[in-house]
Amino acid sequence: MVDLKNILTDQGDSLYDMSYQQPVLLVFLRHFGCIFCRQALQDLSAHQSAIESIPVHLVFVHMARPEVADEFFESYNLTNVNHISDVQCKIYAKFGLAKGSFSQLFGLQTWMKGFEAKKEGLELSTKRIGDSLQMPGIFILKDGAIKDRYIHKVASDRPDYEALINCCNT
Protein backbone atom coordinates (compact mmCIF):
# COMPACT_ATOMS: atom_id res chain seq x y z
CA MET A 1 0.00 0.00 0.00
CA VAL A 2 1.29 3.45 -0.95
CA ASP A 3 1.46 6.06 1.83
CA LEU A 4 -0.23 9.00 0.09
CA LYS A 5 0.16 11.28 3.13
CA ASN A 6 3.89 11.72 2.52
CA ILE A 7 3.70 12.42 -1.20
CA LEU A 8 3.44 16.17 -1.73
CA THR A 9 2.80 18.22 -4.86
CA ASP A 10 4.78 21.29 -5.83
CA GLN A 11 2.14 23.30 -3.93
CA GLY A 12 2.78 21.34 -0.72
CA ASP A 13 -0.51 19.43 -0.81
CA SER A 14 -0.51 15.73 0.08
CA LEU A 15 -2.11 13.33 -2.37
CA TYR A 16 -3.97 11.84 0.59
CA ASP A 17 -5.65 15.13 1.53
CA MET A 18 -6.36 16.01 -2.09
CA SER A 19 -8.07 12.64 -2.64
CA TYR A 20 -10.58 13.46 0.11
CA GLN A 21 -11.40 16.85 -1.43
CA GLN A 22 -12.09 15.33 -4.84
CA PRO A 23 -10.69 12.42 -6.89
CA VAL A 24 -7.11 12.72 -8.14
CA LEU A 25 -6.05 11.74 -11.64
CA LEU A 26 -2.37 10.98 -10.99
CA VAL A 27 -0.45 10.77 -14.25
CA PHE A 28 3.10 9.40 -14.24
CA LEU A 29 4.91 10.66 -17.33
CA ARG A 30 7.94 9.33 -19.14
CA HIS A 31 10.81 11.71 -19.90
CA PHE A 32 9.86 15.05 -21.44
CA GLY A 33 11.58 14.22 -24.74
CA CYS A 34 9.30 11.20 -25.25
CA ILE A 35 6.81 11.57 -28.10
CA PHE A 36 4.26 9.55 -26.12
CA CYS A 37 4.66 11.82 -23.10
CA ARG A 38 3.89 14.73 -25.40
CA GLN A 39 0.91 12.85 -26.82
CA ALA A 40 -0.41 12.24 -23.29
CA LEU A 41 -0.15 15.95 -22.47
CA GLN A 42 -1.88 16.86 -25.72
CA ASP A 43 -4.70 14.38 -24.94
CA LEU A 44 -5.10 15.63 -21.36
CA SER A 45 -5.10 19.22 -22.53
CA ALA A 46 -7.94 18.33 -24.91
CA HIS A 47 -9.87 16.76 -21.98
CA GLN A 48 -9.16 19.61 -19.59
CA SER A 49 -12.76 20.93 -19.56
CA ALA A 50 -14.11 17.43 -18.78
CA ILE A 51 -11.56 17.07 -16.00
CA GLU A 52 -12.55 20.42 -14.49
CA SER A 53 -16.29 19.74 -14.80
CA ILE A 54 -16.26 16.48 -12.79
CA PRO A 55 -14.17 17.93 -10.84
CA VAL A 56 -10.91 16.03 -10.59
CA HIS A 57 -7.49 17.11 -9.36
CA LEU A 58 -5.03 16.53 -12.20
CA VAL A 59 -1.55 15.81 -10.83
CA PHE A 60 1.51 14.90 -12.90
CA VAL A 61 4.57 13.01 -11.70
CA HIS A 62 7.71 13.67 -13.73
CA MET A 63 11.50 13.53 -13.53
CA ALA A 64 12.38 17.18 -14.12
CA ARG A 65 13.00 20.19 -11.90
CA PRO A 66 9.69 21.93 -11.00
CA GLU A 67 10.44 25.12 -12.97
CA VAL A 68 11.27 23.08 -16.09
CA ALA A 69 8.03 21.15 -15.67
CA ASP A 70 5.96 24.34 -15.28
CA GLU A 71 7.27 25.61 -18.60
CA PHE A 72 6.72 22.25 -20.29
CA PHE A 73 3.11 21.97 -19.05
CA GLU A 74 2.35 25.54 -20.08
CA SER A 75 3.39 24.70 -23.65
CA TYR A 76 0.40 22.30 -23.66
CA ASN A 77 -1.97 24.87 -22.11
CA LEU A 78 -1.86 22.99 -18.82
CA THR A 79 -1.27 25.97 -16.59
CA ASN A 80 -1.33 25.89 -12.82
CA VAL A 81 -1.44 22.09 -12.70
CA ASN A 82 -0.19 20.31 -9.63
CA HIS A 83 2.88 18.21 -10.19
CA ILE A 84 5.49 16.21 -8.36
CA SER A 85 9.16 16.14 -9.27
CA ASP A 86 10.55 12.62 -8.79
CA VAL A 87 14.03 12.79 -10.29
CA GLN A 88 15.12 9.52 -8.69
CA CYS A 89 11.87 7.69 -9.64
CA LYS A 90 11.17 6.65 -6.04
CA ILE A 91 7.47 7.47 -6.29
CA TYR A 92 7.25 5.63 -9.62
CA ALA A 93 8.62 2.56 -7.82
CA LYS A 94 6.19 2.96 -4.88
CA PHE A 95 3.32 2.77 -7.36
CA GLY A 96 4.83 -0.32 -9.01
CA LEU A 97 5.95 1.38 -12.21
CA ALA A 98 9.07 -0.38 -13.47
CA LYS A 99 11.70 0.27 -16.08
CA GLY A 100 10.64 -0.87 -19.52
CA SER A 101 12.02 -3.85 -21.37
CA PHE A 102 13.49 -3.50 -24.85
CA SER A 103 10.22 -4.61 -26.49
CA GLN A 104 8.12 -2.27 -24.31
CA LEU A 105 10.24 0.71 -25.27
CA PHE A 106 11.45 -0.08 -28.79
CA GLY A 107 9.20 -2.87 -30.12
CA LEU A 108 7.39 -2.84 -33.45
CA GLN A 109 4.11 -1.61 -31.92
CA THR A 110 5.93 1.32 -30.33
CA TRP A 111 7.63 2.25 -33.60
CA MET A 112 4.34 2.10 -35.51
CA LYS A 113 2.56 4.27 -32.94
CA GLY A 114 5.50 6.66 -32.99
CA PHE A 115 5.01 7.16 -36.73
CA GLU A 116 1.27 7.74 -36.13
CA ALA A 117 2.10 10.35 -33.49
CA LYS A 118 4.43 12.10 -35.94
CA LYS A 119 1.52 12.29 -38.41
CA GLU A 120 -0.41 14.12 -35.67
CA GLY A 121 2.36 16.71 -35.61
CA LEU A 122 4.18 15.46 -32.53
CA GLU A 123 7.95 15.28 -32.53
CA LEU A 124 10.46 13.26 -30.58
CA SER A 125 12.92 15.52 -28.83
CA THR A 126 16.57 14.68 -28.39
CA LYS A 127 16.41 16.57 -25.07
CA ARG A 128 15.58 13.86 -22.56
CA ILE A 129 14.75 15.16 -19.12
CA GLY A 130 14.38 12.05 -17.03
CA ASP A 131 14.99 8.33 -17.25
CA SER A 132 14.18 7.19 -20.78
CA LEU A 133 13.68 3.61 -19.53
CA GLN A 134 10.92 4.53 -17.07
CA MET A 135 7.41 3.30 -17.91
CA PRO A 136 4.37 5.56 -17.35
CA GLY A 137 1.08 4.87 -15.60
CA ILE A 138 -2.12 6.50 -14.39
CA PHE A 139 -3.88 6.14 -11.06
CA ILE A 140 -7.24 7.35 -9.76
CA LEU A 141 -7.05 8.24 -6.08
CA LYS A 142 -10.17 8.72 -3.98
CA ASP A 143 -10.70 8.86 -0.22
CA GLY A 144 -7.06 8.07 0.54
CA ALA A 145 -6.81 4.98 -1.66
CA ILE A 146 -6.12 3.89 -5.23
CA LYS A 147 -9.52 3.39 -6.86
CA ASP A 148 -8.38 2.49 -10.38
CA ARG A 149 -5.21 2.33 -12.45
CA TYR A 150 -3.92 2.08 -15.98
CA ILE A 151 -0.51 0.45 -16.29
CA HIS A 152 1.06 0.84 -19.71
CA LYS A 153 2.05 -2.45 -21.32
CA VAL A 154 4.23 -0.61 -23.85
CA ALA A 155 5.49 2.99 -23.89
CA SER A 156 3.14 3.85 -26.76
CA ASP A 157 -0.12 2.79 -25.06
CA ARG A 158 -2.75 5.50 -25.35
CA PRO A 159 -5.22 5.20 -22.48
CA ASP A 160 -8.87 6.13 -22.67
CA TYR A 161 -8.64 9.24 -20.50
CA GLU A 162 -12.37 9.86 -20.69
CA ALA A 163 -13.12 6.43 -19.21
CA LEU A 164 -10.57 7.01 -16.45
CA ILE A 165 -12.02 10.42 -15.70
CA ASN A 166 -15.56 9.03 -15.67
CA CYS A 167 -14.43 6.43 -13.14
CA CYS A 168 -14.19 9.35 -10.74
CA ASN A 169 -17.94 9.97 -10.95
CA THR A 170 -18.81 6.72 -9.18
- Can you give the residue ranges of every domain in the chain? 4-167
Residue 5 and residue 43: Cα distance in Å, rounded?
29
Cβ(24)–Cβ(18) below 8 Å: yes
Query: CA 45 → CA 51, 86, 112, 131, distances in Å?
Result: 9, 22, 23, 23
- Indicate the CATH number for domain 4-167: 3.40.30.10
Model-level pTM? 0.88
d(CA 64, CA 32): 8
**pLDDT tens column, 144-159:** 999 999 999 988 888 8
pLDDT tens-place string over residues 78-94: 988 999 999 999 999 99
Those residues whose C-beta lies under 8 Å from the C-beta of residue 94, and which sit 6 or more positions away, are 2, 3, 7
For residue 129, what pLDDT band results from cuts at 50, 70 and 90? confident
CA dihedral over 165, 61, 34, 64, signed as positive or negative: positive
Using one digit for the tens of pLDDT, what is the confidence trace for 22-36?
Answer: 999 999 999 888 888
pLDDT at 60: 97
Closest CA to 159 of 18, 21, 4, 37: 37
Q: Which amino acid is at 49?
A: S
| pLDDT score recorded for residue 165 | 76
